[in-house]
Structure 1
Amino acid sequence: MASKANGLFSSPLDEHLSAGGEIGDESLLRGAMRRLAKDKLALLGLVIAILVILVGVFAPYLMPNDPVKVLLDKRLLSPSSAYPLGTDHLGRCLLSRLIFGTRVSLSTAAIALFTIMLISIPVGTIAGYMGGWVDNLLMRLVDILLAFPSLILALVIAGMLGPGLLNVMMAVSAVGWVGYARVIRGLVLSVKEKEYVMAARACGTPEWAIVIKHILPNVLSPVIVLATLDIGSLVLSISGLSFLGLGAQPPTPEWGSMLNDGRPYMQVAPQLMVYPGIAIMIVVLAFNLLGDGLRDALDPRGTDRV
């Protein structure tokens, strides 16, 4: 999945829009779903993503042991029936921590994505619909934020707020909304010139009603669908900040913090870093495969892939 310019996250939406595609047409969406159904890699990503989400939802019922219980007499044990993946440096079950870490990582990414949408949708809609000095003011703010390296900006914000998952979500959201706001503005600019919007305006429909009834329904659906595919990049970003000590704090199981905890034991117990690293890779790969497939399916100029 291609990355946004100067962005911390990646999304298939930008590439589709830059290719000149329109995603509000119902027949186009039906054709996109048919193309997506033929994409084996995208379907594989979808299956893996669903399985990972189910693991996160049912984590309390899947964990064989307490993920935060410290048993110093069981430090760094090899895999066994009681501890299928062994234990960490504090005697905690690795498999249980990985399973519960799935819930923590995915829920954190989902909340961050919701916050990004909560900010970017109003800003992008207002900028695109009102135009003029309002559009210039909001887009210049977006340009200023995009001028900074997003990862560095997120690190600065998280460092100022202090360590913690909530602060990391705030930092990631503060960086991530700008790209979506620009994309939403572009969609609004396109939709507001449609004949049905012009007809509603000619009939004297209030501006707020036009936005709610005609603009947002044709903008939100594709944006929300494609934004959900950004969860892989959000998981990677949040895990990276947690690895640096800015995210989840002990004893909360989170993949990035588990990587950091296992770093001093890399020589004697590499599995402490390998397992959470593999978990992050699987999630990011699954959502990237799904995102690439949806991007290609939404591109009218794309060809069907078998």
Structure 2
Amino acid sequence: MSGKGLLGATLARLLKDRLALIGLGIIMLVFFTGVFAPFITPHDPDEVKLEQILLPVTADYPLGTDHLGRCVLSRLIFGTRVSVSTSLLVLITIMLIGIPIGTLSGYYGGRIDNFIMRIIDVLLAFPGLILTLVIAGMLGPNLINVMIALSAVWWVGYARVVRGMVLSIKEKEYVLGARAAGTSNINILVRHIIPNVLSPVIVMATLDMGKLILAISSLSFLGLGAQPPTPEWGAMLNDGKNYMQVAPNLMLFPGIAIMVLVLAFNLLGDGLRDAFDPRSSTER
């Protein structure tokens, strides 16, 4: 089957998965909300109104106000920008680090492979979140430092997965034939190796988006990520924890936003996995 035919068959299988389409719809809605946040928010997300603190749900404030009188809905909408864009930048960074390293390690082997795998083994010896906390704590509480910490830890998973796939693909007949025909290593990597590892990496990246959103929100909740007055979902949870009994909406709505978006990426990731490999859905 040609590349276009394979892509068409994959897309057709994805369009038949209702849960994946629901997840995709939620993700598109969230992205749309983040892009057009300045035009759809009812209030300035950073405007402090001390005379209107901890208001319940009203017509003017659909999700109430926080302890500084700021509109929860407006902050939630602008928080979409921070949470999603930060997670996406981290994901792109770890892919740009992990995929080339894993490809080179698996393809060339030898000392390069041994050196890279020892580094990966050391990093994998520590729990990922604990190591991220240590790095972020050393760098200081800041959203950029959280991104650096996550990128420094998370790339090893991609490198290891890609290396394993490359070790298998480079022994395929079409790769051996290309090598025997005198094709350069660069051309083999670009034309034969990397295209064949993209499908599993796309699925992995989609699932990891949800994990990264959850990780960044968790670190912001602990005070290591976004700092006031930045509207970020994890930071909003941290701000509302002291008012849980009198204003539960301060934690309820950011928590629901995180849960729904993480679920959406998981649904889409499962759908993509089944679309790229139909056997995976029949084996479960």
Q: What is the match of residue 292 of structure 1?
A: 270
Q: Is the 8 A contact 2:222 2:238 kept in 1?
A: yes
Q: What is the match of residue 156 of structure 1?
A: 134
Q: What is the match of residue 8 of structure 1?
A: none
Q: Is the 8 A contact 1:125 1:184 kept in 2?
A: yes
Q: What is the match of residue 38 of structure 2?
A: 60
Which deviations, in whole Å up to 9, do the C-alpha atoms of 1:149-177 show, x marking residues without a partner?
11111111110111111011111111111
Q: Is the 8 A contact 2:206 2:268 kept in 1?
A: no
For 2:269, give the aligned amino acid: G
Q: Give 1:7-156 correspondences, 5 Å limit.
A: 30-156=8-134
Asked if residue 218 in structure 1 is aligned to residue 158 in structure 2, the reply is no
Asked if residue 238 in structure 1 is aligned to residue 216 in structure 2, the reply is yes
Q: TM-score, structure 2 length as denominator?
A: 0.92
CA distance in 2, matches of 1:303, 1:120: 27
Q: Which has the higher helix share?
A: 2
Which deviations, in whole Å up to 9, do the C-alpha atoms of 1:169-208 show, x marking residues without a partner?
1111111111110111122222222333222222222222
Asked if residue 178 in structure 1 is aligned to residue 156 in structure 2, the reply is yes
- Equivalent position SS for 1:77: coil
Structure 2, unaligned runs of 5 or more: none
The higher-RCO structure (CA 8 Å, 6+ apart) is 1
Aligned length: 282
Which deviations, in whole Å up to 9, do the C-alpha atoms of 1:30-56 show, x marking residues without a partner?
544333322222221111111111111
Q: What is the match of residue 269 of structure 1?
A: 247
CA distance in 2, matches of 1:241, 1:256: 7
Q: Is the 8 A contact 2:24 2:264 kept in 1?
A: yes
Q: Is the 8 A contact 1:86 1:93 kept in 2?
A: yes
Structure 1, unaligned runs of 5 or more: 1-23
Query: How much has 1:234 moved relative to structure 2?
Result: 0.6
CA distance in 2, matches of 1:189, 1:302: 22
CA distance in 1, matches of 2:204, 2:268: 10
CA distance in 1, matches of 2:134, 2:3: 41
Q: What is the match of residue 192 of structure 1?
A: 170
CA distance in 2, matches of 1:41, 1:224: 18
CA distance in 1, matches of 2:280, 2:195: 25
Query: How much has 1:29 moved relative to structure 2?
Result: 5.3
CA distance in 2, matches of 1:27, 1:138: 37
Q: TM-score, structure 1 length as denominator?
A: 0.86
Query: How much has 1:304 moved relative to structure 2?
Result: 6.5
For 1:35, give the aligned amino acid: R
CA distance in 2, matches of 1:173, 1:26: 34
For 2:181, give the aligned amino acid: C
